[in-house]
Amino acid sequence: MHKVAITGTGVFTPAEVISNDELVAAFNAYADLYNAENAAEIAAGRVEAKAHSSSDFIVAASGIQQRHVLDKAGVLDPKRMFPHFAERTDDQPSLMAEIGVKACQQALDMAGKTAADVDAVICAASNMERAYPAIAVEIQNLLRIKGFGFDMNVACSSATFGIQTATDMIKSGSIRSALVVNPEITSGHLEWRDRDCHFIFGDVATAVFLEREEDANAPYFRVKSTRCATEFSNNIRNNNGFLRRTRDQMDDRRDMQFMQNGRKVFKEVLPLVSAHIAGHLTDEGVQASDLKRLWLHQANKAMNDYIGKKVLGRDPEPGEQPNILQDYANTSSAGSIIAFSKNSNDLADKALGLICSFGAGYSVGSVIVERVI
């Protein structure tokens, strides 16, 4: 069995930013337009008026202060409330491949490697912009990588499930290295007109380069152990798929975008994740007190505070459990990888840490890593 190392990470961050205040102003303008257009029906009690959103609520309920998006104008247009994504021809790179390549390139640069050193590409994300050919194969082609690529989707847990998949292939010897890339264009599957969730997502692409430890050029993280678990739930769901109805009819189908029962998710996922991490640590003989850092899925600050406290048995010290959701919002599978990428290089030799993602499925994935300098 080969030992596996994460030797590079990359984060592509879209340039455009939407603050809570900008988002709320657009939402409230949309709500006012809707209420004016439906004034008679609302007065007759046949249609429910849309209430205003609030920046204070968003910060208090989630900890999110802003989000990056690929197209700000479309999202903030009260008459549209959806990004403009120009249709691309088959000869142009897909949007997911385009941003995924940028994150992959950063991960390779950090590892001091080139495309010639990569044996496989796994594109692991919560939504794919087309059925096939796989986005991973397109990224493989754009980077001129030999070997193979495939897509996988485990919603918000896609990145950690992808890391386990790549790790197992490297361990067994079927490949020497892999890029696991997570282009998350969440703005395309969020209903920006739904007050309960219009604030939660942002766009980003992350990538992780994994290879045999003996091939590492620079300080790295040894993958000590991975664990994945799933348990069926309808509380986070998106029904959009190849059986969907036409675009016009979709306007009446709220279930064709991201849907969640946020309160239930909060309550049900917390015990699931805490027990998953505790079990993983126990089975690997790792004490919670040995963990120098937790890089958790970035959906909600209160949720992460709870998990951090449950895992460590005390309030995490500042920096022990870095959050990035105040700047990026929920970026689905990419969140824990952004936290890891931006808050890990300072760790000392032999320091242990845990990457953990969770979300729809339900799904939970955890990766125990050890710093090697």
266 binds ligand COA (CB under 6 A): yes
Residue closer to ligand COA, measured from CB, 38 or 238: 238
Q: Which stretch binds ligand COA (CB under 6 A): 97-105, 163-171, 261-269, 312-320?
A: 261-269
Instruction: Give the CA-trace dihedral at 58, 64, 66, 70, to 10 degrees.
Output: -110
Angstrom distance (rounded) from CA 64 to CA 330: 8
Q: Which of 107, 299, 311, 334 binds ligand COA (CB under 6 A)?
A: 299
Q: Which is nearer to ligand COA, 78 or 262 (CB)?
A: 262
Asked if 156 is an active-site residue, the reply is yes
Catalogue the E-assigned strands of the chain: 4-12, 16-19, 66-69, 120-124, 148-152, 177-184, 204-212, 220-230, 236-237, 259-260, 291-296, 352-359, 363-372
Angstrom distance (rounded) from CA 97 to CA 205: 10
The 8-class DSSP code of residue 31 comes to H
CB of 141 to ligand COA, least distance (A): 30
Among 9, 13, 53, 257, binds ligand COA (CB under 6 A): 53
Q: Which is nearer to ligand COA, 58 or 124 (CB)?
A: 58
| Alpha-carbon torsion (86, 90, 96, 97), positive or negative | negative
Pick from 117, 196, 268, 290 the residue near ligand COA by CB under 6 A. 196
Q: Is 274 in the site for ligand COA (CB under 6 A)?
A: no
Minimal distance in Å, beta carbon 186 to ligand COA? 9
- Binders of ligand COA among 302-321, rule CB under 6 A? 303
For 26, residues 6+ apart whose C-beta sits below 8 A from its C-beta are: 75, 76, 77, 78, 81
| Whether the Cβ atoms of residue 125 and residue 158 lie closer than 8 Å to each other | yes
* Pairwise CA distance, residues 129 & 147, whole Å: 23
The single-letter DSSP state of residue 332 is G
Segment near ligand COA (CB under 6 A); pick from 36-44, 76-84, 137-145, 298-306: 298-306
**Size of residue set near ligand COA by CB under 6 A:** 22
62 binds ligand COA per the rule CB under 6 A: yes
- As a 3-state breakdown, the chain gives helix, strand, coil percent values, each rounded to 5, of 40, 25, 40
Tell me: does residue 54 bind ligand COA (CB under 6 A).
yes
Tokens of 347: 């760790």
**Binding status of residue 359 toward ligand COA by CB under 6 A:** yes
Q: Which member of 104, 156, 228, 356 is catalytic?
A: 156
For the bound state, the minimum distance from the C-beta of residue 63 to ligand COA, rounded and expressed in Å, comes to 9
Please tell me the distance from the alpha carbon of residue 7 to that of residue 186, in angstroms, as a whole number: 27
Catalytic annotation, residues: 156
Task: State the residues that interact with ligand COA by CB under 6 A.
Answer: 53-54, 57-58, 61-62, 156, 195-196, 199, 236, 260, 262-263, 265-266, 299-300, 303, 330, 332, 359
